[in-house]
């Protein structure tokens, strides 16, 4: 699925303040490599149902074993081994025995201590890898997991490594320490790096499995249809502590959702919730919803947080126009797209915004290869659009009770004409501050 940096930022997949990102929400990794692979994973949505289903299977199988995952493979263990390969050691015996090992320990104390420390960590690492293999070999694994498990089993199959796993690491003799340390240094560097790389990927996938299990995410059902569609029940935004769930259906016959509602009523949150779940679905990840069915989409584009560019001398409105132009050019390829637009043309005056919005909506609604969700504060243009059967109208309800705003955050059918900007201004005390100047 095609996606650009603007969309990733709009949906907060990544965010300058990391705690506000989807990445942060999904990150349960415990190694540096796992964290970086998770970042790579989230930046690269998939392009085929087959690949998505294989990822789904991988995550589901890791959910089954997450409670029994070995704790002996840690970021510290991996770092100790990496550092060992970068450290110069005084020459140690090629064939360690009781006597030459004793003398090496006596005259090269710091090096011997480092070798022993590394060997102990290596034993923990190899034992952990073996436990992972044992945990997963009982499944008919996904292609991805099968390739990793098969490769790991091959990499730790050497006799010396098997001997290390059987050894009591607290009772190692100096001869064992030097023999195992020499093997690691001379015969296991590339294998160690490869095992570390595979474990980083497992760590990232395990992180996703933990999140799916913790929050009860469900795995979407994909259909390889010629026409785009999206159906969701109980869908919500994953970053909210107490989210409201939505039901949504977009199909080729009703492919345009015209969304209205007052400021703060929930329009942006709804649009982002749909975008995040659709994006996660195309990673093979579980989604925050009770159910989700969708076609494989070729792309996802958003127009949510447009900004001006002072350096280039580009106004907010100009960048809105450019984003719409780029969107139209991209989705004219006949492929299946999901387009998310929040508050179209808020960077110009009311009269221009109405004219521009109607022009854009009238054009976009004719494109049957794409699904659209568009929010606007220009509720007055809605009535003229009712003649188009493929446009559905929804709004978020707002009530004023005793001069207080009440938001239900419930998605309802119809068009909202709520205008509460002045009430919010007065409620927050801005009017009083101005009156007292």
Q: What is the CATH number of the domain that holds 350?
A: 3.40.50.300
* Cβ atoms of residues 199 and 38 within 8 Å: no
Q: For position 174, what pLDDT does the model report?
A: 96
| pLDDT by 10s per residue, the chain, length 437 | 999 999 999 999 999 899 999 999 999 999 999 999 999 999 999 999 999 999 999 999 999 999 999 999 999 999 999 999 999 999 989 999 999 999 999 999 999 999 999 999 999 999 999 999 999 998 999 999 999 999 999 999 999 999 999 999 999 999 999 999 999 999 999 999 999 999 999 999 999 999 999 999 999 999 989 999 999 999 999 999 999 999 999 999 999 999 998 777 789 999 999 999 999 999 999 999 999 999 999 999 999 876 545 434 457 788 888 889 999 999 999 999 999 999 888 777 888 888 999 999 999 999 999 999 999 988 889 989 999 999 999 998 877 666 666 777 888 999 887 666 666 667 677 777 777 87
Q: Is residue 104 part of a domain?
A: yes
Note whether 123 and 239 are same-domain residues: no
Q: Which residue in the block uniquely carries the two structure tokens 């991996």?
A: 78
Examine residue 8 and state whether it is found in any structural domain, yes or no: no
Please state the domain count of the chain: 2
Give the pLDDT score at 407.
Answer: 74
Q: Does one domain contain both 200 and 343?
A: no
What pLDDT was estimated at residue 399? 72
Same-domain status, 245 and 201: no
432 to each of 31, 126, 253, 425, 427, how far by Cα in Å? 53, 69, 50, 9, 9
The predicted pLDDT at position 400 comes to 65
Which of 215, 242, 275 is the last residue in one of the domains?
A: 215
Rounded to 5°, angle at Cα 289 from 57 and 265: 150
Q: What is the pLDDT of residue 423?
A: 62
Residue whose structure tokens are 């960077």: 347
Residue 228 shares a structural domain with residue 209: no
For CA atoms 271, 275, 278, 284, the dihedral sign is negative
Where is the domain boundary, 147, 182, 215?
215
Q: Among the three residues 180, 215, 250, which one is the final residue of a domain in this structure?
A: 215
What pLDDT was estimated at residue 386?
93
Class of residue 143 by CB neighbours under 10 A (exposed 0-12, middle 13-18, buried 19+)? middle
163 & 239 share domain:
no
Strands 230-235 and 246-250: antiparallel
Q: Which residue range(s) make up the domain with 162?
A: 31-215
In a domain, 23, yes or no: no
Question: DSSP class of residue 436?
Answer: T
Pair 400, 330 in one domain: yes
Give the count of alpha carbons within 13 A of 388, CB side only: 25
Same domain, 318 and 373: yes
Predicted confidence at residue 312, as pLDDT, reads 47
Same-domain pairing of 150 and 236 = no
């Amino acid at each position: 699925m095609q996606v650009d940096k603007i969309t990733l930022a709009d949906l907060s997949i990544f965010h300058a303040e990391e705690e506000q990102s989807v990445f942060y929400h999904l990150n349960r990794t415990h190694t540096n490599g796992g964290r970086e692979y998770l970042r790579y994973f989230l930046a690269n949505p998939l392009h085929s149902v087959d690949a998505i289903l294989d990822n789904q299977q991988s995550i589901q199988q890791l959910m089954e074993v997450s409670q029994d995952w070995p704790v002996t493979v840690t970021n510290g263990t991996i770092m100790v081994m990496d550092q060992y390969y970068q450290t110069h050691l005084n020459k140690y015996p090629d064939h360690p025995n009781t006597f030459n090992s004793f003398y090496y320990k006596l005259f090269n104390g710091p090096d011997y201590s480092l070798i022993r420390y590394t060997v102990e960590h290596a034993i923990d690492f190899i034992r952990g890898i073996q436990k992972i293999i044992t945990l997963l070999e009982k499944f008919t694994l996904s292609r991805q997991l099968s390739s990793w498990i098969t490769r790991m089993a091959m990499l730790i199959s050497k006799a010396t490594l098997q001997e290390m796993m059987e050894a009591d690491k607290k009772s190692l003799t100096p001869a064992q320490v030097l023999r195992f340390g020499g093997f690691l240094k001379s015969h296991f560097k590339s294998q160690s790096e490869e095992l570390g790389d595979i474990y980083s990927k497992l760590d990232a996938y395990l992180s996703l499995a933990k999140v799916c299990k913790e929050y009860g995410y469900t795995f979407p059902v994909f259909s390889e249809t010629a026409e785009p569609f999206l159906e969701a029940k109980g869908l919500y935004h994953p970053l909210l502590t107490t989210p409201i769930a939505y039901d949504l259906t977009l199909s080729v016959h009703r492919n345009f959702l015209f969304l209205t509602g007052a400021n703060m009523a929930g329009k942006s949150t709804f649009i982002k919730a749909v975008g995040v779940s659709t994006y996660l679905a195309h990673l093979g990840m579980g989604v925050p919803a009770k159910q989700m069915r969708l076609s494989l989409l070729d792309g996802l584009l958003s127009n949510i947080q447009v900004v001006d560019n002072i350096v280039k001398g580009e106004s907010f409105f100009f960048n809105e126009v450019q984003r719409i132009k780029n969107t139209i050019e991209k989705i004219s390829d006949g492929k299946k797209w999901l387009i998310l637009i929040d508050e179209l043309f808020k960077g110009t005056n009311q009269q221009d915004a109405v004219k521009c919005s109607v022009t854009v909506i009238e054009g976009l609604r004719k494109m049957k290869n794409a699904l659209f969700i568009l929010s606007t504060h220009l509720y007055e243009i809605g009535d003229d659009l009712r003649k188009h059967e493929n446009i559905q109208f929804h709004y978020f309800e707002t009530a004023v009770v005793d001069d207080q705003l009440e938001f239900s955050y419930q998605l309802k059918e119809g068009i909202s004409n709520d205008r509460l900007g002045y009430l919010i201004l007065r409620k927050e005390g801005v009017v009083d501050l101005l009156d007292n100047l």
